[in-house]
Chain A
Amino acid sequence: MTPLLEIRDLSRTYRLKEGGKVHALEHVSLTLGRAETLAIVGESGCGKSTLANLTCRLDTPNTGEILLDGADITKLGPREMRAHRRKMQMIFQDPFASLDPRRTVGFAVGEPLIVNGLMCKGPELDETVAALFERVGLLREHMQQFPHQFSGGQRQRICIARALALKPELVIADESVSALDVSVQAQVINLMMELQEEMQLSYLFITHDLAVVERMAHRVAVMYLGQVVELGTRRAIFENPQHSYTKRLLDAAPIADPRQRRERSLLTGDIPSPVWADGEAPERVSMREVSDGHFVAIEH
C-alpha cells in the first residue's frame, strides 16, 4: 500500500544577504502512513518547521519530492495544487495569531468550504459548521462570537474545527499544543487522538516536547541541523535510542517525577549554526537500519 505521504530526499537552503546559506533541510526522506502520527522532534533551527512548510507547499524545496497519495506535489501549479491542498490542513502554534480578529469564529470554520466551492452560505453550511463545533467540544452558540472572546484552548479547538472542515487526510500540526496550559494541552491532545481514530487522520506532529511525543506518536523522526538523525517507532526511539543526539535530547528532557531526579551535566554546548559559506555544505549522513524500520545516521 502506498503511504499517504512520502518525502524523498528533500532539501531547502535559504540564501543570506551577508553571504552564505542556511541549510535548513538536508536530504530528508520520510513516510507517513494512514491514521498514523509521525512526530518530528528537534530543537530550534533543526528544520522541523521548514519541513512542515514545504510539505503543505507554503514554501518550495530546492530538490526532492513530496508524494501525497502517490502524486508528486512539488511541481504543481497553484490551480492543480488546490485540489491536493484540500487533503491536507495545518494547525499552527499560536491560536491567537491564526484567527482573523474581525471575523466570527463560525465564519473562520466555514470559510474553507466556501473557498473550495463545496458549499455556499446558508443553512447547510451553518449546520456543517455547528456539527464541527460540537465535535471539537464547543457549543453551537459560540459560532457567532469573535476570537478574542475565547481562551487559548478554545481557540485551538476552533483551529482544529477549521482544519477538519474539508475532511483532510493529513493534518500538519506545528507545535500545536506547545502554547497551551498543561491541563488544556492534555484535553486538546485527547481530542486530536479521538479525531484520528474516528476520521483516520494522519498527523505530521512537529514539536520539541518529548513527553507529548511519547504519549501520542506512532513513529518518531529526530532532526538535528536539517537532517534526520534517527527514525523509528516510538518505542524504538524512546526505549532503544541509538544516535548520540537522540540520547542527549532524552537525557535533557525534564521528568515530571521528583523521585527520578538526575544529576545534570553542566556542559555549555550550544547547537552549531546551520549557516554554511557558499560552496560548502554539511556532510551528508548515511543511515543504517538497526532493526525493522529503525534507522540511525552513522556517526563518525
Chain B
Amino acid sequence: MSTPILSVKNLTVNFGGFTAVDDLSFNLYPGQKLAIVGESGSGKSVSALTIMQLVTLGTRAEIAEGEILFTKSDGSVIDLLKTSEADMRKIRGNDIAMIFQEPLTSLNPVFTTGDQVVEAVQLHQGLDRDAAQARALEMFERVRIPRPEKVLNDFPHQLSGGMRQRVMIAMALSCDPRVLIADEPTTALDVTIQAQILGLMRELQKDTGSAVMMITHDMGVVAEFADDIVVMRNSKLVEQGSVLDIFSKPQARYTQALLAAVPQLGSMTGEDNPRRFDLIEVPEDRK
C-alpha cells in the first residue's frame, strides 16, 4: 500500500483526569474514504479536532502522547502535534479542510456566503479578489447550488440547511485540500437532503481524489459512504477494517452489539407485525 497521507500513532488526549482519546492509532491513505464510528463520548470528535490542532484552544485538553504524521504535497512528513500555530494556519483549510455538523453555526452570519469562500481562497491560494470570486462561483456550481450567482450574495440565514451545507462543502473544497474531515456532515439534515449531500460528497471525492475522514454515529451513512471503518468506544479503538468486513463479520463484541441495534431498512420485508431488536449485551469496560 502507498504511504498514508495522515497517520495517527498512539494518540492520547486528556481533559483533566478524563481520557477522551486513549492510545488511538490509524492511517488515512490518499483517496480513501474512512469513517470513524462511535456513540456519544466515544472520542471520535476529539480525535478530529486533535488532528486539526483545534482541541487545545480554550479547553483543558492536553495531548499526553502520540504523533500525527501528515505527508505534505512535496512528500515531506511533519508531525502536526509539533507544528507551530502559524504553520498550522497554512495547513488548515488548505491541505486539511473540515466540515462541521451544524452549518449555521460554522458560517459567519454577518458576511455573505460568497465573501466567506472568497476570503478562504484569497488567504490560502493567494488569488486576487476577481480570481477568488470566479473560484467561489465555480465551487458553488460544482456543489450544485441552484442560481449560484445569487447565493454568493446571500447571507447564511437566507439559505436552507441543505444549501448551507453545500456552501460549507464548497468552502472546504475551494483550496483543493488533500484531506477532508467531515464531522457528522449530514446529521442535522432531512433525509432527502442528506441523500443529496452524501451523493455530492461521493462524487466530489471521486473527482478530486482527496482523502475523506468522516465522523459519524449513523451506520446507515457509513454503509453508504465509507471504504473503511474505525470503530471507537469509550475513547478507544475497538475494531477497524473494510466496510464490507465489519458489516458482514464484525469481530469485536461491541461492534456486533452496535450492528444488532441498528434498524435496517428492508429487514422487515414480509413481516406483518413489528419486531423487537435482538440485542447483545456488552459489559462496560470503563473504570
The answer to whether B223 touches A256 (Cβ under 8 A) is yes
Tell me if A193 and B263 are in contact (CB < 8 A).
Answer: no
Separation of A181 and B219 alpha carbons in the complex (Å): 11
B146 and A254 contact, CB distance less than 8 A: no
Task: Select A193's contact among B160, B217, B271, B274, beta carbons within 8 Å.
Answer: B274
Q: Does A298 contact B (CB under 8 A)?
A: no
Given known contacts A181-B39, A258-B244, A259-B244, is B162 in contact with A253 (CB within 8 Å)? no
Stretch at the interface among A7-15, A72-80, A87-95, A261-269: A261-269
> Out of B160, B218, B222, B267, which one reaches A270, CB within 8 Å?
B160
Set of chain A residues within 8 Å of B276, measured between Cβ atoms = 189-190, 193-194
Contact with A254, one of B161, B220, B258 (Cβ below 8 angstroms):
B220
Residue contact B202 to A264, C-beta cutoff 8 Å: yes
Nearest CB in chain B to that of A257: its residue = B223
> Inside 8 A of B262's CB, which chain A residues have their CB?
182, 186, 211, 256
Taking the closest CB of chain A, its distance from the CB of B252, in whole angstroms, is 14
B279/A182 in contact, CB under 8 A: no
Contact of B217 among A182, A210, A265 (CB under 8 A): A182
What is the CA–CA distance of A194 and B200 in the complex, to the nearest angstrom? 41
Query: Known interface pairs A43-B190, A181-B40, A256-B223. Does A211 touch B263 (Cβ–Cβ under 8 Å)?
Result: yes
Residues 136-176 of B, flagged 1 when their CB comes within 8 A of A and 0 if not, give: 00000000111000000000000011110010000000000
Chain A residues with CB under 8 Å of B218's CB are: 182, 254
Can you report 13 residue pairs joining A to B where beta carbons are below 8 Å apart? A182-B219, A187-B261, A211-B264, A214-B267, A215-B277, A216-B274, A234-B268, A239-B270, A249-B191, A253-B191, A256-B265, A259-B244, A269-B196
Alpha-carbon separation in the docked complex, A212 to B219 (Å): 13
**Please, what's the 1-or-0 string for B190-217, where 1 marks a CB less than 8 Å from any CB in chain A?**
1111111011101100000000000001
User: Chain B: which residue is nearest A255 at the CB level?
Assistant: B265
In this complex, how many residues of chain A approach chain B with their Cβ under 8 Å: the count is 54
A182 B261 Cβ-Cβ under 8 A: yes
Contact of B192 with A252 in the complex, beta carbons under 8 Å: yes
A146 at the interface (CB under 8 A from B): no
Chain A residues with CB below 8 A from B196, complex form? 264-269
| B194–A254 touching, CB < 8 Å | yes
Residues in A259-290 with C-beta less than 8 Å from chain B: 259-271
Which of A181, A190, A216, A266 is the one whose CB lies under 8 Å from B199? A266
**Cβ of B266 under 8 Å from chain A:** yes
Taking Cβ atoms with an 8 Å cutoff, the residues of A that contact B are 37, 43-44, 152, 181-187, 189-190, 193-194, 208-212, 214-218, 233-235, 238-239, 248-271
Q: Which B residue's beta carbon lies closest to that of A267?
A: B196
B contact residues around A189 at 8 Å (CB)? 263, 276-277
Contact partner of B265 (CB less than 8 A), chosen from A184, A211, A268, A271, is A211
Starting from the known contacts A214-B265, A257-B264, A264-B198, 13 additional A-B residue pairs (CB-CB under 8 Å) come to A43-B192, A182-B258, A182-B261, A193-B276, A211-B220, A218-B274, A233-B272, A238-B268, A239-B269, A239-B270, A256-B222, A265-B196, A268-B145
Asked if A186 and B274 sit within 8 Å, CB to CB, the answer is: no
- Residues in A neighbouring B198, C-beta threshold 8 A: 254, 264
Residue from the list A208, A214, A238, A262 in contact with B263, Cβ < 8 A: A214
In contact, A183 and B257 (Cβ under 8 angstroms): yes
Residues of B contacting A261 in the complex (Cβ-Cβ under 8 angstroms): 223-224
Cα A216 to Cα B275 in complex, Å, equals: 6
A250 vs B195: C-alpha distance in the bound complex, in angstroms?
Answer: 11
- B273 interface residue, CB < 8 Å from A? yes
